[in-house]
Structure 1
């Protein structure tokens, strides 16, 4: 590991100033992703600015009826919060599906959104990788890619985003707030992650030196009946090979509102807008759930060894929405 300096930030403006004064610095929250990448040599910061003690650890109701979640809230505290469990059960389920209990105790909300892909080529500094070193190529295209992207990828990168929390927050239309030297700003999560295109090393739309201060989740009555379902290759402590965050409002057997987001199929959490449009106003029946999934997955461009994800995601959408519809009918 490269030798680095360490400094603890005393307040938000001080943290931003510390990073602005040192272009080789990085913010440190729980460190559950960053430190691993430092050990492997993928990340080589010269200074770590510890933001864990900043006053960003609260979960509070907003005047509009949503929740504001501070950036240093741990994943464990987020999942256990009674208002999160009551208003947004899919968010609690998504957080609990990620990592181990020990890691959830350390990992923070802000850091979770910024975690980087688990693509083996990205993590191995002896291999080329456009995300790690622009212009070197993407060996996953012809190499090991069974868990790589089927939506929104390009010839420059086919890696997937690993966050479970981010998938749920995408379905909930969450907004990321941040602080820069020029003042505060915000980004809807739908715009937070950049399309992979020909610049896979540019992952978010955050301004340079920005510190995430929190996430605001707007009120979403539809989320009262919601679910996060994750498929993985082993029962615990594994990243998804496919996941769905879903919320469903059914009235008189007809879908009044639906939210859908996919995980582990693209370089960012994937909001299934085509599926939502197809399903809204249709009878809440399995054949319509399948048609909605097909409408979204029509854009899929699977590689040699990951076409199974198209079938997996279709079946996952149908299963989760059927469960939610049956609950609504009780």
Structure 2
């Protein structure tokens, strides 16, 4: 059934925003005029029942067309040929926001590029220019080109992540790792030491059975969205959010599994992650940014050395590269089972 609700024209934008926030808006179909009341009502497509509204079946639904051409093809003939070579070939779509980095050579064309991207992605409503990241909290430097909102809700792996792309990083390169974590943690107590907006905590809570998570985040903006995402995904009974420094708030000798999904300075907190695991044994997922010539050797030796300081043994169960972090540096994760020998 192609569900829709009938809304007076003057209320459509308010209701559309509400549905978008609640993830009830079907973004694959277009809002269209009611056949019965074409001058007064519009049909808004929805993907589920909506409290307070009668559901109708939308006859002859109109679907958005998938992207079939590149930005270069779209703008060929509209901007000088010499400038086509500088057009971005990649961008990030989070919810209904497009994030794009525009070369200096095309700064004067950024609105043209933004409008063209919105044509290519009709469900999107804002385009944001990306200038990189800065600071301890890896806050993005971004500026709105077109649109009014940088806050959005991104859906991934049956999970919903609300965030403001102007304040929060969300790496598509970590998708495989988020999916891997969603399959772990069944019937366990998990401590997520750098939880952010719930990148790993939310998939675990949604997909793993009988999991309990303690999710710690120091950045107040990220913590606010962590709380909202816990509510949005209805995992309030599964996730306990803790705002603060994980060196102060990580519990000891309680966890079956510890996630350390931060990079750059993660090793400073390794002792807290290892102390959090039960002495009888637990799994550690340790992330680090590593030079290519020390790939895996450095994080593995760090885990083993810190474990030995507490009289524990670290058995390395696996490791893999998540993505390239910068020239000659890789973001890796090491899985280690850490226990205290009898």
Q: Same fold judged by TM-score > 0.5?
A: no
Superposition TM-score, scaled by structure 1 size: 0.23
Structure of greater Rg: 2
The structure with higher relative contact order (CA 8 Å, sep 6+) is 1
If each structure's strand is expressed as a fraction of its own residues, which one has the higher value? 2
If each structure's helix is expressed as a fraction of its own residues, which one has the higher value? 1
Superposition TM-score, scaled by structure 2 size: 0.23
